[in-house]
Structure 1
C-alpha cells in the first residue's frame, strides 16, 4: 500500500521550513528527506515516524510514541531509530515542525557519526601503509568534528599513533 499523497504533501509543506524536501519510496511507503537527510518514514497505513536518537527519543517516549515496527515471519521487528509522530499533521503543524527539527538534528548527528567512523577506518588503513602523517591529520580532523558534536572521538577512532613493530 502506497503512502497517502495528501499526507506526504502536508508534511512536506510543514517541513519545508527546515530545508529542501524530497521523498523516496521506502518500506511500502515514503521516506521524507531534508537536504538529503532522512527524517521521516510515512507508511501506507498513514502512520508517520520521525528519526530519533538517544538525545531526542525521551521527548517522543514522554509524548506516548512507539517505535517503528514491521511484521516478519519470525515475529515483529522494531526499528528504534524511528518513532511515531505523536501529533496529527493536519491538526498541529507547529508541533510537527518542532518534532521535525528534532528529527533533523538526530539525522545530522547520525551522519556525523557515520562520517567519523568512515574517516577513522580510512585513517587506520593509512597507518598500516606507512602514511602516518596523513592518518594523524585525518584523525585530528575527525576528533575535532566528533568533539564539536559531543561524540567521544577517542572511542571512535583510537589514538592515531603508529603501531609498534614487535
Structure 2
C-alpha cells in the first residue's frame, strides 16, 4: 500500500509548481523533490530543505537558514548542503520562487557531466 502523502509535501509541491514539472518521492523516511528530473529539495522531520552550494549557502545563512543535519549509524552528525528557507517563503509560490531557483541552480552546478564513451579498440 502506498504511503500517504503528508500535508507539507502537498504544500511544497504547490509552492514549487510554477518552476516546472514537480515530482515528489518518498525516500529514507522523508521526501525528495524533483523539477524536470533534477533533485533540488527534501523534507525531513517535517522541515523543508533546499539544495545549496558555496554560491548559495551564504544567502541561506544570511536569511536565518539552517543546514540539514542527520545522525549517522555511528552517532556522528552529518551535514548536507540543503538549507531551510525563511518562513515567508513557505507562504506563496512567489515567495518561494527565488529560493527554489537558487536550489535548482545549485543542483545544475552539482550535476556530474556524463561519462564519455570509451572508443572501441582498433582491430
TM-score range (shorter-chain normalised) is 0.7 to 0.9
8 A contact 1:3–1:42 mirrored in 2: no
Higher helix share: 1
Q: Which moved more, 1:84-93 or 1:53-62?
A: 84-93
Partners of 1:78 and 1:52 in 2: how far apart? 12
Q: CA RMSD in A?
A: 2.4
Equivalent position of 1:69 in the other structure: 69
Partners of 2:12 and 2:36 in 1: how far apart? 15
Q: Which of the two has higher C-alpha Rg?
A: 1
Q: Which runs of 5+ in 1 are unaligned?
A: 131-166
Partners of 2:4 and 2:43 in 1: how far apart? 6
Equivalent position of 2:30 in the other structure: 29
Equivalent position of 1:115 in the other structure: 113
Shift of the alpha carbon at 1:88? 5.2
TM-score by length of 1: 0.62
More relative contact order, 1 or 2 (CA 8 Å, 6+ apart) = 2
TM-score by length of 2: 0.81
SS of alignment partner, residue 115 of structure 1? coil
SS of alignment partner, residue 24 of structure 1? strand
Partners of 1:6 and 1:89 in 2: how far apart? 17
Equivalent position of 1:139 in the other structure: none
Shift of the alpha carbon at 1:57? 1.2
Shift of the alpha carbon at 1:92? 4.6
Partners of 1:38 and 1:109 in 2: how far apart? 12
SS of alignment partner, residue 105 of structure 2? helix
8 A contact 1:33–1:40 mirrored in 2: yes
Shift of the alpha carbon at 1:91? 3.0
Equivalent position of 2:105 in the other structure: 105
Partners of 1:18 and 1:87 in 2: how far apart? 19
